[in-house]
């Protein structure tokens, strides 16, 4: 097993990074090694220098990559070289002292409350299983703030309707419990009944039209399709519903620590971005409403 393969196995099995993150890291490392082979044929990971990493970063920026993309790719390399140092494969970290491009501050995109109310209260998703399932997916993401991968990974045993709560397994297998609104519990019972009438059983809570485990792309397609009917925000992904959950909670007085726990964030700093989002909305309202603004 070479260094890259052992590293990927390490972050997958020991660090318990998500499948998506492991794939992303693999692609970034492969891209770097492909570039390195062009500029320094025969070079391997052990021989990588500070100049090599900086050269790739400059190449990415000149190729039109955003600062955010560069930060993500450099994060993959940083994690790799830390692993290599820990296992004494290299003596010096080629990432040391590397200055990354400044990322522009991007506020979370969220859907307006009235738009979501219109979708969930007025729009007809259809009375068949697919329609009921699609509505439940959208509402589940909005009412719990969970990630798409967490939703597709839900098992029947994770959803406790009698207790009105759902157990979510997040990043690195960290679990948290999220309460379910009483009205939503009733909707979930209807979904389960419809699923059972179709004869779909296997333990997965959300399933496709054929009864198989729901997959990430299907959830993405469901969310983007229905959000497009009520909002003009540029991004309409499942993660936007996660942002919307947090922003609406904050707008209605929830404290940051509570939102942090519900979202499954490892630190409060990741949650604080929503305070900026809310403040920008307040500034917009202030400018519209105050006669001297």
Alpha carbon distances (Å) from 25 to 78, 196, 206, 271: 10, 39, 28, 24
Query: Which candidate, 76, 89, 64, places its Cα nearest to that of 31?
Result: 76
Region 80-109 average pLDDT = 89
238 assigned to some structural domain: yes
**Catalytic position from the list 118, 171, 198, 213:** 171
Dump pLDDT digits (tens) for 219-272: 999 999 999 999 888 888 999 999 999 989 888 888 888 889 999 988 887 787
Q: Is 133 in the active site?
A: no
Report whether 41 contacts 33 (CB < 8 A). no
Range of the domain at 14: 3-86
- Give the per-residue pLDDT at 221: 96
In order of 148, 250, 268, 281, 292, the CA distances from 287 in angstroms are: 36, 21, 30, 10, 8
- One DSSP character per residue, 75-90 reads HHHHHHHHHHHHTTS-
Note whether residue 96 is domain-resident.
no
Domain with residue 81: its CATH number is 1.10.150.130
Confidence of residue 291 (pLDDT cuts 50, 70, 90): low
pLDDT of residue 47: 94
For residues 191 and 159, give the distance between their C-alpha atoms in angstroms, rounded to a whole number: 12
Q: Provide mean pLDDT across the span 154-175.
A: 93
Does residue 15 carry a catalytic annotation? Answer: no
Q: What is the total count of domains within the chain?
A: 2
Assess whether 265 carries a catalytic annotation: yes
**Domain contains 91:** no
**Beta strands 165-169 and 175-179: pairing type?**
antiparallel
pLDDT over 90 percentage in the chain: 71
82 in active site: no
Say if residue 280 is in the same domain as residue 204.
Answer: yes
**pTM of the entire predicted model:** 0.68
Nearest residue to 22 via CA among 66, 80, 70, 67? 80
175 located within any domain: yes
**Arithmetic mean of pLDDT, 150-169:** 95
Indicate if the pLDDT at residue 75 is higher than 90. Answer: yes
Q: Which of 40, 118, 167, 265 is catalytic?
A: 265
What CATH number should be reported for the domain holding residue 211?
1.10.443.10
Return the number of other C-beta atoms located less than 10 Å from residue 188's C-beta: 18
For the stretch 179-212, pLDDT in tens is 999 999 999 999 999 999 999 988 999 999 999 9
Residues 35 and 120 in one domain: no
Q: How would you class 288 by CB atoms within 10 Å of its CB: exposed for 0-12, middle for 13-18, buried for 19 or more?
A: exposed
Average pLDDT score over residue span 162-184: 91
């Amino acid at each position: 097993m070479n260094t890259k393969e052992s590293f990927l196995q390490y972050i997958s099995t020991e660090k318990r990074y998500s499948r998506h993150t492991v794939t992303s890291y693999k692609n970034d490392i492969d891209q770097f090694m492909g570039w390195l082979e062009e500029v320094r044929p025969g070079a391997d990971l052990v021989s990588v220098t500070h100049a090599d990493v900086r050269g790739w970063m400059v190449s990415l920026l000149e190729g039109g990559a955003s600062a955010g993309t560069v930060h993500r790719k450099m994060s993959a390399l940083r994690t790799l070289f830390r692993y290599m140092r820990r296992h004494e494969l290299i003596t010096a970290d080629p990432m040391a002292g590397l200055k990354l491009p400044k990322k522009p501050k991007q506020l979370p995109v969220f859907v307006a409350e009235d738009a979501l109310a219109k979708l969930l209260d007025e729009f007809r998703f259809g009375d068949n299983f697919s329609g009921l399932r699609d509505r439940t997916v959208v509402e589940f993401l909005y009412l719990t703030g969970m990630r798409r991968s967490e939703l597709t990974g839900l098992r029947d045993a994770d959803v406790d309707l009698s207790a009105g709560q759902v157990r979510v397994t997040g990043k690195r297998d960290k679990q948290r419990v999220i309460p379910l609104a009483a009205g939503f519990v009733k909707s979930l019972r209807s979904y389960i009944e419809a699923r059972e009438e179709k004869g779909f059983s296997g333990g997965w809570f959300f399933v496709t039209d054929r009864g198989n485990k729901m997959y990430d792309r299907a959830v993405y397609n469901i969310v983007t399709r229905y959000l497009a009917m009520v909002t003009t925000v540029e991004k309409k992904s499942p993660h936007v519903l996660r942002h919307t959950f947090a922003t609406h909670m904050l707008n209605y007085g929830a404290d940051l620590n509570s939102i942090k726990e519900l979202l499954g964030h490892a630190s409060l700093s990741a949650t604080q971005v929503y305070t900026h989002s809310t403040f920008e909305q307040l500034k917009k309202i202030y400018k519209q409403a105050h006669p001297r603004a």
